[in-house]
Structure formats: C-alpha cells, structure tokens
Amino acid sequence: MFVQFQDYLGLDPREAVLSPVFWYSLLSVLFLLILWGIIKKTRSELVSVFCDEEGAVQITPLALRELVRKSCATIPGVHSPSTKIFKKSGEVRLLVKLHVEQDCKVKAIRSQLREKLEVVMVNNLNFANFSGVDVIIKGFQDSK
C-alpha cells in the first residue's frame, strides 16, 4: 500500500487529477467538512440565565429563539423573525433579523422589541447577563 502511495506522489499534476484516488479523496474531505458543519450547527449550547447558591438556571437556544419569535408576534408590522445568540465576555446579546411592513416606523419597532425582551428576560427570567438586542431588517413585507 505504501508503494502505491509513493507511485501516486510520483505522478504529474495532470495525471494525478485524472486518477480515481484523487476524486475519492476530494469527495471524502468534502463529506467530512459538510458533516462537521452539520454537527457544529445542530449542537445546542445552553445559555446561562443566572446562578445562585441554590444552583444554576440555563435555557436552550431554541427556547430563547421561541421567546423572541413570540415577542415579535405581538408587535404590529413585524414578520418572520430569526434570532442568533452571541455570548461574549459572559454576556448574552441577541441579533434579530426580521421583515417589516413598508409603512412601519423602524425606530419604534426596535424600541418595542427591546423593551419587551428586557421585561421578559431581565424582569421575569432574571437574566443576569443580558446585554441587549441588535435588529437587522432583512426585507419588507406588504401590509395585510
């Protein structure tokens, strides 16, 4: 087997690319990269809410995204929210991407969303490390 590998290394680049070993190797590496990406994306790290002498309280990213989605549902003019969670220096920051209606006031929507999430996360859930919300408008939707 080692001799075959040495023979392969001795080929010129044009012959090496035409060899089936090259294509099998390339497909294997591509498959492993895709598999690694899927595993990394589906891995759910718990987000720490607070910790006291009785123990720690954590929330799943899915539950946090659901919380943002339900908060956006109560704001008129906001559609299709998606959320990314960033943890930096022990603090949690949310990036909310959403569609808005064309005639809505974006500043008012941002304020309403921030206030609703702060009430739920800080007052109700006692999030000790919530640092805020960033909003990205990813499109416009017609008024209903």
CA–centroid distance for 102 within its chain? 26
pLDDT of residue 135: 92
**Residue ranges covered by each domain of the chain:** 2-42, 47-141
CA–centroid distance for 83 within its chain? 7
* Residue predicted with more confidence, 12 or 7: 12
pLDDT of residue 134: 92
Residue 45 DSSP class: P
Nearest to 112 by CA among 143, 68, 82: 68
Residue 3 DSSP class: H
Q: What is the CATH number of domain 47-141?
A: 3.30.70.1350
pTM above the 0.75 mark? no
pLDDT digit string (tens) for 23-76? 888 999 999 999 999 888 777 688 888 888 889 888 888 888 999 999 899 888
C-alpha–C-alpha distance, residues 20 and 127, integer Å: 56
pLDDT of residue 1: 56
C-alpha–C-alpha distance, residues 24 and 12, integer Å: 18
C-alpha–C-alpha distance, residues 95 and 50, integer Å: 21
pLDDT of residue 27: 94
pLDDT digit string (tens) for 90-143? 888 999 999 998 888 889 988 999 899 888 888 888 888 888 899 999 988 876
Task: Check whether 4 has a pLDDT greater than 80.
Answer: no
Quickly state the pLDDT bin for 144 (edges 50, 70, 90). low
